[in-house]
Amino acid sequence: MYKIAIKDLNTLFSKIAEEQELILPIKKAGQYNFGVYEEGCDIDGILTNKTVKSGKDAFFPQFETLYNVRKKITPADELENGEEAANTKIRTKLTIEAEALKDKDFVIFGMRACDVKGVEVLDQVFLTDPVDNYYKARREHGIIVALACHEPEESCFCTVFGIDPADPSKSKADVATWIVGEELCWKPITEKGEALTKKIESLLASADDSAVDAEIANITSIMDKLPNTKLSLEGWGKGKTDEKFNSDVWQKIYTPCLGCGTCTFVCPTCQCYDIKDYTTKDGIQRYRCWDSCMYSDFTLMAGGQNRTSQVQRFRQRFMHKLVYFPDRYDMYSCVGCGRCVDKCPQSLNIVKVIKAFENEQKEAGANV
């Protein structure tokens, strides 16, 4: 266990940033978002505020070029003799140049336990066969420095999904850090964490493991007081498709949903993306970008989108988080970070959905 004064964090960050890219929450135009560290970026309050979007961008960016196709025309004079100048097949050559994979290490600082679990959820999708190379390269070169939640918010409910916000060392992070008074305790967990710690050892002072116990206890006690941490997942999870799919609760609660993409784009575990082409000077650039199952043209096929009404899309989103994903990977796809609770324009979110079904259960139970 090591530690460093919180006021010296800037020196720590610039030291890390010297050797490799450092991504951390930055305060910009009044909002906290993950960004690449540069000298003089505003890091005031980043340890205690939730970012609008999760750190998922570092591994699965909102936009990513897959490859470029270029069309070359061999000039007339370079033709071998006998080749007919007007034959388009001979003269035009198509070359495909894949986008270079991430080859340099980078550090992502400030992810909370819920975000790290989110990355774990993404691993299930992108690292299982067929493996997504772009994601894999980023995942291997990424060193995650997780931070315990010093001030959980009322929208947080990660404990419902068995995530311990107080002790990130239980998560898949490479380094776990805690805020203890005026200092930041730093505990490397994996080899990557050890290697990183070696590089910056000069700035760190040693500390014993028990220094963080008080902080862990404090966070755990706060979590009990939060309103949503008592949610029960009874009736959700593996094998609940038939029970939930045709329930008429969806019809009752979906009306305010605008079909915008806010909940999906702030969510740390949403992994759907669309592939599109962009015509460039001499060919096309094929890229992928996040897509939202709430959009009307999500998975638009020749015959249209199979979920034609908003209630179907609304149901799809929450069923995927709480039923379909557990069916397949035996793990909930929601990590209880509360971002959709904060940011939904119509104040509709996964917590209200779970509570709505709970009430339905009670009423059904009451008059049966």
Distance CA 71, CA 94 (A): 5
Question: Measured from the CB atom, is 162 or 256 closer to another protein?
Answer: 256
Mark residues 193-222: x for contact with another protein by CB under 8 A, - for none: -----------------------------x
Mark residues 139-178: x for contact with another protein by CB under 8 A, - for none: ------------xxxxx-----------------------
Q: What is the number of residues in the chain? A: 368
The two three-digit tokens of residue 68, written as one number: 């470029």
Is residue 181 part of the contact set for another protein (CB under 8 A)?
A: no
Is residue 27 part of the contact set for another protein (CB under 8 A)?
A: no
Buried (b) or exposed (e) across 41-71, using 16+ Cβ within 10 A? eebeebbeebbbbbbbbbbbbeeeeeebeee
Report the nearest approach of another protein to the CB of residue 346 (Å): 6
Is residue 345 part of the contact set for another protein (CB under 8 A)?
A: yes
142-147/175-180 β-pairing: parallel
Distance CA 354, CA 368 (A): 21
169-177, 202-210, 283-291, 327-335 -> range binding another protein (CB under 8 A): 283-291
Burial class (CB in 10 A: 0-12, 13-18, 19+), 1: middle
Cα–Cα separations (whole angstroms), residue 6 to 11, 174, 176: 10, 20, 15
Report the nearest approach of another protein to the CB of residue 339 (Å): 8
Is residue 292 part of the contact set for another protein (CB under 8 A)?
A: yes
Distance CA 353, CA 90 (A): 60
Is residue 255 part of the contact set for another protein (CB under 8 A)?
A: yes
183-188/175-180 β-pairing: antiparallel
Give the phi and the psi of residue 157 in degrees, each rounded to 5.
-150, 45
Is residue 6 part of the contact set for another protein (CB under 8 A)?
A: no
Mark residues 123-142: x for contact with another protein by CB under 8 A, - for none: --------------------
Rule CB under 8 A: choose which of 256, 299, 330, 362 binds another protein. Answer: 256
Mark residues 83-112: x for contact with another protein by CB under 8 A, - for none: ---x-x--xx--------------------
Rule CB under 8 A: choose which of 37, 290, 318, 325 binds another protein. Answer: 290
Rule CB under 8 A: choose which of 43, 144, 176, 351 binds another protein. Answer: 351
Burial class (CB in 10 A: 0-12, 13-18, 19+), 20: middle
Cα–Cα separations (whole angstroms), residue 125 to 79, 98, 121, 263, 313: 48, 22, 7, 20, 21
Alpha helices in 100-240 (DSSP H): 113-126, 133-141, 191-199, 213-225
Question: Measured from the CB atom, is 62 or 128 closer to another protein?
Answer: 62
Rule CB under 8 A: choose which of 227, 241, 328, 363 binds another protein. Answer: 227
| CB-CB contact of 273 with 286 (8 Å) | no
Question: Measured from the CB atom, is 169 or 349 closer to another protein?
Answer: 349
| CB-CB contact of 2 with 185 (8 Å) | yes
Count of residues that bind another protein according to CB under 8 A: 64
Q: Which residues are near another protein by CB under 8 A?
A: 28-31, 33, 48, 52-53, 62-63, 71, 73, 76, 86, 88, 91-92, 151-155, 222, 225-228, 255-256, 258-262, 264-266, 274, 276, 278-279, 281, 287, 289-292, 295-297, 303-305, 308-309, 341, 343, 345-348, 351-352, 355
